[in-house]
Structure 1
Amino acid sequence: MTKNKILLRWTLIVVAIMIPLLYAWYIHYQRNHFSCEAHTRIVDDNYVLDVMLSYQFNGGSGSYETTGEYIPTGKPPVSMSNKIAFDYWRDAKGVIMVANETNELPKKYEAFRSTIPDFYHLRSRGLRVKITPANPSSYIFSYGGAPVFYCSKG
């Protein structure tokens, strides 16, 4: 009987130690393995940019994909898309993403490109954003201290 009590105590101690460790691992895993999507509409005096954004973060490497329309004032819409492979890491100020590859279409210069960071257009360009969980199923991406868009888990 005494051996059973000792075994039970040690089992409870091991379980009590393992539960917080497993929870900490789960939280860390969730911070570095997630995906989310956002619908963004940028309205300017000269154009409207209507796009669907998709981000995937997977333990230090990620991808970004967008599809949508660039609509210049008084002109027909132009279909656009972009795919980016990037590496990322976290620091005290947020998440740093550096583009490895980009495939932006259409290839010609459009007015909206001057307002979007180089990360989305050029290889080896970086971007620091703060990604804050808004609730269990979404995130807020902030740039320069201002919220940029709301991204729902995919």
Structure 2
Amino acid sequence: MNTLILMQGLLIMHLTGLTLLAGTTVADYVTFRTFSNQFKTQGEPSDSLLKLMSRLAIVLAIGGGLLLVSGIGLMAVTHGIFMHQLWFKIKLALILILLLNGFLIGNRQIAKLKKGLKQRTAHTDQLVNGAILRLNIFYLLQLAIFLFIIILAVFKVN
């Protein structure tokens, strides 16, 4: 197979993965905001919105898998030519921050939110409100990191 065609295919996969990740994060954030606004105004959680947020995690995983596989493929095809460039090192660090933020902050806050919604006491309502606040910050940080990664990839700042 022609190396150029392989590289273009991998780049398409990479951009598709990035689009799935960033787009799903936006959709997840909009769903979460709708959920939290509904909870604050009506005092009742929406199970359907929580289920939708859980299903969006599957799309996130697919996007992440595409990014990982295509990124490794691109590194193999280009023989790691970008590894020594500053913009690429920053991009990799930001990807690591995205992952850590998602697993350590996002997943924990979603778990606290679900736990608090199941128990529904005065203490758990405080837990839910705290989780909502931290999830708002989490999503905004994730989106800002995605934006910065895209800016780095376009301008390739060295």
TM interval, short-chain normalised: under 0.3
Mark the structure with the bigger radius of gyration: 1
Higher relative contact order (CA 8 A, sep 6+): 2
More strand by share: 1
Structure in which a larger fraction of residues adopt helix:
2
What TM-score does the superposition give when structure 1 sets the normalisation length?
Answer: 0.27
